[in-house]
Amino acid sequence: MLRNVTVEAYAAEGKSLARQEGKVVFIEKVVPGDVVDVQVTKSKKDWAEGHPIFFHSFSKERVEPFCQHFGVCGGCQWQMLPYEQQLVFKQQQVMDNLTRIGKVSLPPFEPIAGAQQTGFYRNKLEYTFSTKEYLPPGTFSKDDRARGERSVVGFHAKGFFDKVVAVEKCWLQDDLTNAIRNTIRDYAYEKGLTFYDIRAHVGFLRTMQVRICTTGEVMVNIVLGDESEKKRNALLAFVQQAFPQITTLLYTINVKMNDSMHDLDPQVYAGPGYVIEQLEDFRFKIGPKSFFQTNTAQGAELYRITREFAALDGSQVVYDLYCGTGSIGIFCSRGAKKIVGVEMIAAAIDDARENAALNGIAHTHFAAGDVIEVCDDAFFATHGRPDVIITDPPRAGMHEKLVRKILDMEAPIVVYVSCNPATQARDLALLDEKYAVTRVRPVDMFPHTHHIENVVQLTLKSPVT
């Protein structure tokens, strides 16, 4: 244990750092200015990791968290920091990653695009019904032990696959969600409906997804652990009557050993089976398994910056890689001669085509498959070589073969949208062979968390003569 440690600076991924006897110590759940005793959980020659076990004094930057579940739930890590300070740390995280990992020439960073709405900002949440309530460390009374065995609904506790934090009020999504979740919970208590025991793999209520759109449309999908038709119909009829705001109500039967939705078939109980979301004046059809940016308002801001970095004038062929349901390409379509989207997941490509049709955008082509295999000479001959490439990969970043493919395509502009500046920096180092980083702007999609998106514009270097 380390005593009286003064936290000096923000590090990354929600951790801060201190220095003790020439060693850097990364500490979670603290902010710069805190003075703490640290329980070391990992120690190497030059660095260590740990967590606070006692606070001698708190940083002057701290504010009172607004959520009753903060510190237990784990969904938000930074409610104790003023939002403006969160933005400073997030901008710093991007700069540190691109400088230390990327090690490429960088322009001055543009200011982070902060969120106008810092609460109730998510359009989708998923809750878990469980027979095991998570209780924070230090609760060992008989009453608390009994509570740990009660059925609850909320979020998975960090580090526990079988325990759930009972949520009374979550500030991440419109308050309607809290009413829906708590009402279904109370109905289940009254009717004796069982919650899912993930160890024994038994129980009726399993998970629930709620999506609330800026258009006012609401989708609820209740995932059930068995086929009990009578109980199911009674539950769904109750929910429909209690919440007429729900425009699409679905149920999904899941008897698998895991909660993944990709191989399940949601069934429509009421409504059209989808909702419509809107970014600017573009409309998007979203089904129960569709991917869509989780923060609608900031998603629009992210796409506006992406469109700006693409520098479109109406003459360019734009390739949208990892295009998903086509939202970025469609958002940029009015400034492009043609949008070509490529995505591995065939169902997402079906959604992309439908969304293009919904918006009356005919100058698009969406292809399902691996970019490395799809984008060959025959494909270029049919659809044109890219003038602009937009790439928005998952957290793992781009496969090195795809980076090589982008280098081969030699589009004049590449716009790299990333949810992980560390892997983005790694890829920028590889792209440096032919591309210069010309613009950088972080975007905060998830206030009160350490997550950060970043948009980078790269331009093709002039050939050496």
Active site residues: 419
The stretches of 130-270 forming alpha helices (DSSP H) are: 142-147, 175-191, 229-242
Residues linked to residue 317 through DSSP beta bridges, in sequence order: 338
- Classify 180 as helix, strand or coil: helix
Give the sheet arrangement for strand 248-253, strand by strand: 164-166, 152-156, 124-130, 205-212, 218-224, 248-253, 267-270
CB–CB of 25/17 below 8 Å?
Answer: yes
Neighbours of 301 (CB within 10 A): 20
Q: Which two tokens stand for residue 20?
A: 């003790």
First vs last Cα of the chain: how many Å apart? 60
Provide the pairing of β-strand 47-57 with 23-28.
parallel
> Exposed, middle or buried: residue 380 (CB in 10 Å: 0-12, 13-18, 19+)?
middle
- Type and span of the H or E element at 248: strand 248-253
Q: At what angle do helices 421-431 and 400-409 cross, to 10 degrees?
A: 50
Q: How far apart are CA 387 and CA 32, in angstroms?
A: 45
